[in-house]
Amino acid sequence: MGMAAEPQFHVLAVDDSLIDRKLIERLLKTSSYQVTTVDSGSKALEFLGWQEQQQELPSISPDDQQEVVEVNLIITDYCMPGMTGYDLLKKVKESSSLRNIPVVIMSSENVPSRIT
């Protein structure tokens, strides 16, 4: 019998800059991480299934639960249009099913006043 492959550590990278997303993806993939990239906080929440979690559903079938993608770490840019990385962090931590995912917020800004 063959051994089952261990699931890869899955990182969700969120950045509105294509260059930064590609850089993060390349760096993490060289370390054998599974990487998913999205360009906004709202797309990150959609990928994580956050929208569905906010709706009151009477019951969730076991098949639906298997469709949830497991993410081990979220790396997000701080300064993004629409939803900042901090806003994304707050939504993730408000969710009972997502709150245990570590979130790293980064910024390529070099002007501290634009980050605070």
- Where along the chain do its domains lie? 10-52+64-115
Strand order in the sheet with 103-106: 34-38, 10-14, 73-77, 103-106
From the list 48, 19, 24, the residue with the least C-alpha distance to 34 is 24
Planar angle of CA 70, 92, 49, nearest 5 degrees: 50
Tell how far CA 7 is from the center of its chain: 17
Q: Indicate the pLDDT class of residue 8, thresholds 50, 70 and 90.
A: confident
Convert the pLDDT of each residue in 72-116 to its tens digit.
999 999 999 999 999 999 999 999 999 999 999 998 877 777 666
Instruction: Please give the CATH architecture assigned to the domain spanning 10-52+64-115.
Output: 3-Layer(aba) Sandwich (3.40)
Q: Alpha helices of the chain — where are they, by DSSP H?
A: 18-29, 41-48, 50-53, 62-66, 85-94, 112-115
Question: For 28-68, what is each residue's pLDDT tens digit?
Answer: 999 999 999 999 999 999 999 986 555 444 444 444 444 56
Whether 80 contacts 61, CB under 8 Å: no
